Amino acid sequence: MTQQVELGLHTFGDVTVDAAGLPVPQDQVLRDVVEQAVVADQTGVDFIGLGEHHRDDFAISSPEVILGTIAGRTSRIRLGTAVTVLSTDDPVRVFQRFSTLHALSGGRAEPIVGRGSFTESYGLFGHDMADYDTLFEEKLDLFAKLVKEERVTWSGQTRTGLKDQVVYPPLAQPMPVWVGVGGSPESVVRVVRQDLQLMLAIIGGDPKRFVPYVDLYNRAVEQMGRTARPVGVHSPGHVAATDAEAQEQAWPAYKEMYGRIGRERGWSPVTKASFLSEVNHGSSYVGSPETVAKKIAATVKALNLQRFDLKYTTGPIPHAVQMEGVRLYGEKVIPMVRDILSGR
C-alpha cells in the first residue's frame, strides 16, 4: 500500500552572503525568499513555511506579510509558518492575519504555531520568560477555539477574556493548524487535547528516537477519543547535484549558524565530524536528490508520517544555491520519495 505523504519546505530567511562574502541586506533576503517560494510552487512542493525571528541573522519577523506576497505570485502551494511564536503574540490578531491570508489565497493558509526556540520576542513584546509555560498554554487554548468556533467565550490570566465574541474575518473554510513540538511528552499530549496537528522538530540525532512520541500521540488520541490527525516532521537539509557538492556548500554555513547559536547558548564548538555525523546518521538531510530522497523516505516509514518539511536554509548559503536546492527538491526529491514509498 502506498504511504501518502506531503513534502514541504521551511526557511527562516537566513541572511545570506554575496559574491564577496558580505551579508546581504535583510530587505533583499526577504525578496529572495519570495522568489524561492515561487520556484517551490512551480516544481510541485506542497507547502512553504516561514519561521518568525527577531534577530540580525534571520530576516523574517512578519511571516504573514511575506506569505501574502507569495500568495499573489503562486497558485497551489500551501502557505504557513515555521513557527509563529504564539507565546508572545495575541491569538486574536494571529487568527485575523491567517484568516485573511486564507481568504486571499483561496484556502491555502496553514499555520504552524509554537513557543519558538529563540527568546528575543519575549523582551521585545513585553513578556516575562517566567510566564513561558502559562503564556503558551493559554494562548494555544484561545487560538484553537478561534479556529474551530464561530463565537468564542474564553478567560485566562494572560489577556482579557472574550464572551460570545465573533472575530473577523471568519474562516469561510476549515484551516489546518499544526503545533511545533521539540520533543516534550507534555507538548505532544497538549496537541491532542486541543485537537490540532503535530509537527515534530527533529534537528539532531537519529530520527527514530522520536518513535515513542508518535506512539504517545496515537495512545493519547485513542484515550481522549479524538480523531487522528496528520503527523509531520521538520528537519534541516540541503540538496545539490552530488553528495560532495551538497556537503561542500552546506558545511561552512552550518558552521557559521550553529557556531553562533552555540556560543550564545554555551554549546560545545561545532566540528566537521559532528556535521558529517548528522548528515550520515542523524537528522541533517544533506546530499544529492537520491541520497536525500532515500533518507526522507526512511524517516517517513519509521515514524509513519503524513508530512515531511525540509528546512532548506541553514546559515548563509547564497540565494542562487538555495534556488537550485529548492528546484532539485521539487523536481527530483519529491518524485523519488513517492516512488520509494509506493515500492516502485
pLDDT value of residue 1:
45
Question: Does residue 329 sit within a domain?
Answer: yes
pLDDT value of residue 116:
86
Question: Does residue 217 sit within a domain?
Answer: yes
Question: Does residue 91 sit within a domain?
Answer: yes
Question: Does residue 32 sit within a domain?
Answer: yes
- In sequence order, what are the beta bridge partners of 178? 112, 197
10-residue block means of pLDDT along the chain (344 residues)? 85 94 96 98 98 98 98 98 98 98 98 94 96 97 98 97 98 98 95 98 97 98 98 98 98 96 93 97 98 98 98 96 98 98 90
- For residue 230, give the C-alpha cell: 496528520
Question: Does residue 20 sit within a domain?
Answer: yes
Query: Do β-strands 6-11 and 47-50 pair in parallel, antiparallel, or remain unpaired?
Result: parallel
Number of domains in the chain: 1
Question: Does residue 1 sit within a domain?
Answer: no
CATH assignment at residue 314 = 3.20.20.30
State pLDDT tens for residues 292-342.
999 999 999 999 999 999 999 999 999 999 999 999 999 999 999 999 999
Residue whose grid cell is 493559554 = 138
**pTM recorded for the entire structure:** 0.97
- State what percent of residues in the chain have pLDDT above 90: 97
Provide the domain limits for residue 322. 6-342
- State what percent of residues in the chain have pLDDT above 70: 99
DSSP SS3 for 5: coil
Among 331, 248, 253, residue whose Cα is nearest residue 293? 331
Distance separating alpha carbons of residues 279 and 236, to the nearest angstrom: 10
